[in-house]
């Protein structure tokens, strides 16, 4: 291992359309394509490796030098600049809303705030069936 962070393997459909976790953990066939979850020997037809996010973040902030580097973006903000100097500049002006209720804090008010991006290869976590 390059790091102490270990991957977690999850069973998934051979078509990669579902992961057999949560409410689907006990399913024997794919609810979309009727493909069997398990081979005759009891092993999954397919698995994917998941690298848990929280240990990755903990590792990033565990070293003081790296933690300082990760917060440098906060010094790059210039509200009076003619062009956007921070892609989160507009958000920094907005109060956070949760379930229609406006909170008293703005986005990225705290030095502990962190923006995460999600890049996928055809996987749409929030797309309905």
Residues 46, 7 share a domain: yes
Residue 34 lies in a domain: yes
CA distance 18 to 35: 11
Chain position carrying tokens 């979850």: 37
Number of domains in the chain: 2
Residue 1 is predicted with a pLDDT of 47
Q: Tens-digit pLDDT profile for the chain (129 aa)?
A: 467 788 899 999 998 889 999 999 999 999 999 999 999 999 999 999 888 889 988 888 888 898 888 777 666 556 666 666 667 777 888 899 999 999 999 988 887 788 787 777 766 666 665
CA distance 12 to 39: 12
Residue 84 is predicted with a pLDDT of 60
Q: Where are the alpha helices (DSSP H) in the chain?
A: 53-62, 64-70, 89-92
Residues 64, 104 share a domain: no
Residue 59 is predicted with a pLDDT of 87
Q: Which domain, by its residues, includes 104?
A: 78-119
Residue 82 lies in a domain: yes
Residues 53, 36 share a domain: yes
CA distance 66 to 94: 28
């Amino acid at each position: 291992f390059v790091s102490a962070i270990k991957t977690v393997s999850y069973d998934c459909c051979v078509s990669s359309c579902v992961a057999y976790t949560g409410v689907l953990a006990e399913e024997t066939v794919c609810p979309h394509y009727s493909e069997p979850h398990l081979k005759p020997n009891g092993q999954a037809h397919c698995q994917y490796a998941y690298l848990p996010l929280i240990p990755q973040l903990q590792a990033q902030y565990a070293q003081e030098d790296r933690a300082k580097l990760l917060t440098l973006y906060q010094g790059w903000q210039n509200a009076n600049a003619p062009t956007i100097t921070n892609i989160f500049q507009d958000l920094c002006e907005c109060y956070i809303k949760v379930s229609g209720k406006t909170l008293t804090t703005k986005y990225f008010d705290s030095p502990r705030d962190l923006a995460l991006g999600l890049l996928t290869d055809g996987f749409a976590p929030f797309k309905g069936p």
